[in-house]
């Protein structure tokens, strides 16, 4: 939708309602820049939407960083890709005149958003992390004071163990973030409850 050439292939939908923070939409494995647009529109009607496509391909499926196996991340690649994504956010903010966005990420997109919070805390105003895992074995301890984080885990998620989601919540809280961690009666996929909770969380003052 955007004619602006930036470092990531992306879509940008300008805001139609004043006062809502922009959303940075970060898709899961196999998604693209179109994947979470409907979720963003439903969760934050009228907000600006910035939706990049991950630059890594795994069996032809876009991702935001490489993994070595299910749940085992290539951390050197993750750090480099987080740097690249932070650079893209800065480019897009300048190009489109945006304040710092709130990330709305699912699965692989939620994991890169969690990495951004830890490695580039200035890039995001907050984050809604859907089925996220701890992204780094030895994460830094940034200052996340004033940043709100919604973490939605699935009780029957075969990919993200319950203790991993709890560990991520504790890690972000320990860095000063205001974390709301909920575990839903679902698996790894998204549910109507996710949309309801994200919409309510975004609308809260």
For residues 66 and 191, give the distance between their C-alpha atoms in angstroms, rounded to a whole number: 26
H-run or E-run covering 69? strand 67-69
CA dihedral 47, 9, 105, 36 (to 10 degrees): 60
Whether residue 7 lies in the annotated active site: no
DSSP single-letter state for residue 34: T
Please state the φ and ψ torsions of residue 99, each to the nearest 5 degrees.
Answer: -75, 175
For residues 39 and 104, give the distance between their C-alpha atoms in angstroms, rounded to a whole number: 9
Nearest to 34 by CA among 15, 14, 50: 50
Given the residues 10, 27, 107, 194, the one annotated as active site: 107
Q: 149-171 in b/e burial notation, b at 16+ Cβ within 10 A? A: bbbbbbeebeebeeebbeebbeb
Whether residue 27 lies in the annotated active site: no
For residues 54 and 41, give the distance between their C-alpha atoms in angstroms, rounded to a whole number: 20
Please state the φ and ψ torsions of residue 179, each to the nearest 5 degrees.
Answer: -105, 130
Given the residues 27, 153, 157, 194, the one annotated as active site: 157
Look-up of token digits 């973030």: 177
Given the residues 84, 180, 188, 191, the one annotated as active site: 188
Catalytic positions: 107, 157, 188
């Amino acid at each position: 939708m955007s004619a602006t050439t930036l470092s990531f292939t992306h879509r940008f939908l300008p805001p139609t309602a004043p006062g809502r923070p922009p959303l940075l939409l970060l898709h899961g494995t196999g998604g693209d820049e179109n994947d979470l647009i409907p979720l963003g529109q439903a969760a934050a009607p009228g907000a600006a939407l910035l939706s990049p496509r991950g630059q890594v391909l795994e069996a032809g499926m876009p991702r935001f960083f490489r993994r070595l196996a299910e749940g085992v991340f290539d951390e050197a690649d993750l750090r480099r890709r987080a740097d690249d994504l932070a650079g893209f956010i800065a480019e897009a903010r300048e190009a489109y005149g945006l304040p710092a966005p709130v990330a709305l990420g699912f699965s692989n997109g939620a994991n890169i958003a969690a990495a951004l919070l830890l490695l580039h805390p200035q890039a995001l105003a907050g984050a809604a992390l859907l089925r996220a895992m701890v992204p780094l074995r030895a994460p830094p301890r940034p200052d996340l004071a004033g940043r709100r984080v919604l973490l939605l885990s699935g009780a029957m998620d075969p990919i993200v163990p319950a203790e991993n989601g709890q560990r991520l919540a504790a890690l972000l809280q320990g860095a000063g973030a205001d974390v709301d961690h909920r575990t839903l009666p679902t698996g790894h996929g998204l549910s109507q409850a996710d949309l309801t909770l994200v919409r309510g969380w975004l609308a809260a003052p």
